[in-house]
């Protein structure tokens, strides 16, 4: 069983047991435009909820990536580093950013479900 | 709030057409301009390189100055060009400078029947007008014409496309122009551009701009936003005012000596001459260079440049991803002793230093030249 939740910074997290897989949403990629560079957190590093966990750059500008919850990075997706265009083509599946070991599952409560996020994204416009 | 100026954003005659083509708009120099359309910057860039892209550059200033030989003399006191020998309908790239040879604006000046046409940057045009009026003592009729739009068409298919609408436009050579008739409208067309591609810029009365652009679209050209305009010009190694040129930089520092007439460098008599000569003779501290980051890292404007001893030696003025070279590219200013090609440098991005090297410009060069010159 897995569950997907969303942050106000337009990240998604798929939860499977105590492992979370994090990426950015389709809506985020539409706002960013063509992504040409990505920097991911180091495996083994700890990240804090809403803290910095990478960078994406489009042809236009650089944007920070935040982690929706705290944890220890267990894996990062080299495929999107080698071909950042994948983030535009399949942001919510193949182009995940990193996996982390969830530190405190209570943090998940502050995140939105799909329906709430879609409404949020629509209302926040850009 | 009686002193408050009208801050309403200006729109070009093609604004509706941009909207219909799903443009994402940004504010640029007081205008609502398309940064990209639904295709996105990379596809728009590549389409321009392989086919033909249409750019709305109507925000730029079209300054017509009318006068006789006295005007030519007076303009030679301002611009470092040999205007007396400039042929009718020929264009030159130049600068409006202050006494220290620092640049108010870079521009294209074309000799037309009865005077000159000067194309100015949008953000500078009003100030340029004031400076020029004052330098010319209001002796000549000057019109910063906002009744005309300016449309650029760039890329290898542009000549064929434009020729179906304006016959014989293919006769124009690079950096020259002429009047053409479209219906009962007089269009001034120059063969020039800002992408490193063959192309044209078309000055057309506002009321006809949209229908004319639609004709270009019907013939296979596509609308391209300012985002791709920037990646295209950076790949072509061309300066952008506010980045590689500004009021703190001279054409010599910007490595644009080629644009100053050799004749005028000997004779002088233009604003900024002393400092230009000075800088040519004794060199400048810094100079504009191309910068190639290693890997995929993008170094944006204001990125600090270091040498291997960790000393700051310069700054990036433009940096992006070049779709045609398929990698990051940048331009910047570095201390002269580090300006040699292949000099190893470091770029500080998000607190870390990343290796890069000085490289020649342009980053992208057309592999063929087609009958123009």
CATH number at residue B38: 3.30.1360.120
Tell me: do B279 and B222 sit in the same domain.
no
Q: In chain B, how many domains are there?
A: 2
Q: Is residue B230 part of a domain?
A: yes
Q: What is the mean pLDDT of residues B128-148?
A: 98
Q: Is residue B212 part of a domain?
A: yes
Tell me: do B195 and B277 sit in the same domain.
no
Q: Is residue B167 part of a domain?
A: yes
Interface test with A, best of B320, B328, B351 (most A CBs within 10 A): B320
For the record, the structure tokens of B371 come out as 């009958």
Domain that holds residue B272: 257-359
Domain boundary among B209, B237, B265: B237
Q: What is the mean pLDDT of residues A23-34?
A: 95
Tell me: do B34 and B113 sit in the same domain.
yes
Q: Is residue B368 part of a domain?
A: no
Q: Is residue B25 part of a domain?
A: yes
CB within 8 Å: B296 and A36: yes
pLDDT band at B367 (very low <50, low <70, confident <90, very high): low
> Is the pLDDT at B303 greater than 50, yes or no?
yes
How confident is the model over B306-354, as pLDDT tens digits?
999 999 999 999 999 999 999 999 999 999 999 999 999 999 999 999 9
CB under 8 Å to A9, separation ≥6 — which residues? A50, A66, A68
Domain boundary among B203, B237, B271: B237
A57 touching B (Cβ < 8 Å): yes
pTM, rounded to two decimals: 0.93
For the record, the structure tokens of B321 come out as 């991803």
Calpha distance B336→B333 (Å, rounded): 9
Q: Is residue B250 part of a domain?
A: no
Task: Please tell me the predicted confidence (pLDDT) of residue A2.
Answer: 82
Tell me: do B155 and B297 sit in the same domain.
no
- In chain A, the N- to C-terminal Cα span, in Å, equals 33
CB within 8 Å: B42 and A59: yes
**Which residues on B lie below 8 Å from A33 (Cβ)?**
36, 40-41, 227
Tell me: do B138 and B210 sit in the same domain.
yes
**Which residues on B lie below 8 Å from A36 (Cβ)?**
42, 296, 298, 321, 328
Tell me: do B12 and B134 sit in the same domain.
yes
Q: Is residue B366 part of a domain?
A: no
Q: What domains can be seen in chain A, in order of their start residue?
A: 3-103+112-119 (2.40.50.100)
CATH number at residue B345: 2.40.30.110
User: For chain A, where are the alpha helices, taking DSSP H only?
Assistant: 26-32, 78-82, 85-89, 114-124
For the record, the structure tokens of A121 come out as 């994204």
Tell me: do B204 and B319 sit in the same domain.
no
CB under 8 Å to B127, separation ≥6 — which residues? B104, B105
Distances (CA, A) of B74 to B77, B84, B126: 5, 11, 20
Identify the residue whose tokens are 């004794």. B282
Q: Are B356 and B296 in contact (CB under 8 A)?
A: no
**Mean pLDDT, chain B, as a whole number?**
95
How confident is the model over B76-102, as pLDDT tens digits?
999 999 999 999 999 999 999 999 999
> Is the pLDDT at B370 greater than 80, yes or no?
no
Helix (H, G, I), strand (E, B) or coil at B362: coil
Tell me: do B148 and B3 sit in the same domain.
yes
Q: Are B71 and B111 in contact (CB under 8 A)?
A: no
Calpha distance B94→B81 (Å, rounded): 7
Q: Are A92 and A23 in contact (CB under 8 A)?
A: yes
Calpha distance B189→B80 (Å, rounded): 24
Tell me: do B102 and B183 sit in the same domain.
yes
DSSP A110: G
ipTM greater than cut 0.85: no
Q: Are B86 and B92 in contact (CB under 8 A)?
A: yes
């Amino acid at each position: 069983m897995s569950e997907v939740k969303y942050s106000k910074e337009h990240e998604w997290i798929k939860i499977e047991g105590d492992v979370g897989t994090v990426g950015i949403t389709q809506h985020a990629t539409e706002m960013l435009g063509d992504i040409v560079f990505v920097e991911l957190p180091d495996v083994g590093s700890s990240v804090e909820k809403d803290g910095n966990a990478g960078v994406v750059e489009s042809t236009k500008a650089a944007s920070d990536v935040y982690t929706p919850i705290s944890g220890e990075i267990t894996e990062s997706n080299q495929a999107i580093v080698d071909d950042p265009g994948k983030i535009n083509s399949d942001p919510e599946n193949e182009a995940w950013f990193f996996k982390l070991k969830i530190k405190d599952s209570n943090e998940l409560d502050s995140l939105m479900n799909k329906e709430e996020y879609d409404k949020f994204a629509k209302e926040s416009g850009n | 709030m009686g002193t408050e100026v009208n801050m309403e954003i200006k729109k070009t005659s093609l604004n509706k057409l941009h909207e219909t083509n799903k443009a994402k708009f940004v504010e640029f120099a007081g205008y609502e301009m398309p940064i990209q359309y639904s295709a996105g910057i990379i596809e728009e860039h590549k389409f321009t390189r392989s086919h033909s892209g249409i750019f709305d550059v109507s925000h730029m200033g079209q300054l017509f100055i009318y006068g006789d030989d006295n005007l030519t003399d007076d303009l030679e006191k301002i611009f470092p060009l040999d205007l007396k020998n400039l042929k009718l309908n020929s264009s030159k790239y130049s600068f409006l400078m202050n006494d220290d040879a620092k640049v108010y604006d870079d521009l294209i000046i074309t000799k037309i029947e009865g005077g000159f046409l000067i194309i100015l940057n949008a953000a500078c045009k009003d100030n340029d007008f004031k400076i020029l009026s004052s330098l010319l003592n209001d002796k000549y009729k000057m019109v910063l014409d906002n009744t005309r739009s300016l449309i650029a068409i760039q890329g290898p298919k542009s000549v064929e496309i434009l020729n179906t609408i304006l016959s014989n436009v293919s006769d124009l050579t690079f950096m020259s122009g002429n009047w053409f008739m479209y219906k009962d409208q007089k269009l001034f067309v120059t063969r020039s551009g800002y992408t490193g591609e063959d192309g044209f810029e078309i000055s057309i009365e506002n009321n006809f701009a949209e229908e004319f652009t639609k004709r270009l679209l019907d013939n296979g050209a596509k609308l391209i936003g300012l985002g791709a305009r920037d990646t295209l010009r950076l790949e072509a190694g061309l300066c952008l005012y506010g980045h590689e040129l500004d009021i703190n930089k001279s054409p010599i520092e910007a490595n644009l000596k080629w644009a100053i007439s050799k004749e005028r460098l000997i004779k002088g008599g233009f604003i900024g001459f002393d400092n230009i000569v000075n800088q040519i003779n004794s060199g400048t501290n810094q100079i504009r260079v191309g910068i190639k980051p290693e890997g995929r890292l993008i170094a944006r404007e204001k990125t600090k440049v270091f040498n291997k001893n960790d000393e700051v030696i310069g700054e990036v003025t433009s940096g992006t991803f070049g779709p045609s070279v398929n990698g990051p590219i940048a331009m910047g200013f570095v201390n002269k002793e580090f300006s040699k090609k292949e000099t190893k440098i470091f770029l500080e991005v998000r607190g870390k230093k990343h290796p890069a090297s000085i490289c020649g410009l342009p980053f992208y060069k057309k592999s063929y030249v087609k009958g123009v010159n």
